[in-house]
Structure 1
């Protein structure tokens, strides 16, 4: 039998070591103190999804003109506002619902990423297969984060000193470059520089997944060893 510690969403240790974390936290606290009482966490979660839908529409509509990419950029801002403030306002007002919030928030994160990357794949700038590589990398790293939350009680929110906010800035910068450079074939022929960038990000996420899995696996192996018996070889889960 492995150690069956009871780890709940409310007991998770949030690990956030990205560059903008400190300044962003101050801004979020400032906003929380000024939001009217009728603004609820669920409303903010819905607003975040609406922002992701704006980004999706902006990328798809860019087939008719690059000016539509402004809608995608605005969507990133709306999505940040809703996604960053829903949990923050709940903690600020002491109205947390840890299990519900954890489930809904991370479910919406997955849907948000699908909307953004599918929108890119339907735009004239990034091919769908490359966008799906990036989506696969994101989902793999998300799986690692959720598994670590279950077995270690740690929810890792940043990697390589970057988190969701830094990633949004990168994607906004990428979208601005789309507006400036257009969708014509460039130095790489039929494979655009945007394909290489988005695919490269997906590759980095997959490598991070492998490295983090190895690191966490070694850590868990040491935690599970007991002095009265050798470490079990079977790795098909707790029994």
Structure 2
């Protein structure tokens, strides 16, 4: 059998606000993990958390108390999603191609479930939630293209990474609990809808700016040929 091709090392660009504090916590958790805990099991745990988030938002149509299930799901999702790669690197058992493929595939599915749950809850309209998903997918495409052309994987934008986004979503979910189903405030849109629209438009704007910047850099590295 022909051996699989080696992939070039990827530089992870992580400049989020909580990066240093989170790294210290993750290193301690990795050191404390028993041997039977593996990166794949942590990936599965993260997906269980995403399912919990989806189910909590769906069930909130019947009773707002189910939102606590979503909040617990965010915690489990952070634990699994943040620890799987960290544990592999800590134990020096990385599988670069497999890990990269599985991790980002699960991230995309988990994000789709979370956004679908928010859109099917009574708090945010689906079209507003889907704009947020579109923004996330554009930033994901930008990250994957950057890996291909520059060998860098940007994990943060505007000093916000996945952990900060989860905290923002937890805060938003607590706001759902506190304020309940909102009334329209402008053109039939509620305050929560406007937040979702704003977040989606912001991500799309960041994508445009980042794409333009990378294109200028690449144009300098590869000037037009005569």
Normalization by structure 1: what TM-score? 0.90
| SS in structure 2 of the partner of residue 33 of structure 1 | helix
Q: CA RMSD in A?
A: 1.5
Aligned length: 222
Residue equivalent to 1:176: 174
Corresponding residue of 1:228: none
8 Å contact from structure 2 (residues 182, 192) kept in 1: no
Confirm or deny: 8 A CA contact 2:182 2:191 kept in the other structure.
no
Alignment partner, residue 83 of structure 1:
81
Match for 1:54 among 33, 49, 52? 52
Q: Counterparts of 1:177 and 1:100 in 2: how far apart (Å)?
A: 38
The question of 1:215 aligning with 2:213 is answered yes
Residues 137-176 of structure 1 mapped to structure 2, 5 A cutoff:
137-176=135-174
Distance apart, 1:188 and its partner CA: 3.6
Task: State the Cα deviation string for residues 206-236 of structure 1 (Å, max 9, x = none).
Answer: 00010000000000111112xxxxx159xxx
Runs of 4+ in 1 over 6 A off after TM superposition: none
Partner Cα distance (1:189, 1:176) in 2: 25
User: 2:6 and 2:192 mapped to 1: Cα distance?
Assistant: 41
CA distance in 1, matches of 2:163, 2:155: 11
Report the counterpart of residue 61 of structure 2 in structure 1.
63
**2:62, 2:225 → 1: CA distance?**
59
Structure 1 position 88, deviation (Å): 0.3
Counterpart CA distance in 2 for 1:116 and 1:199 is 16
Q: Does the 8 A contact of 1:16 with 1:156 survive in 2?
A: yes
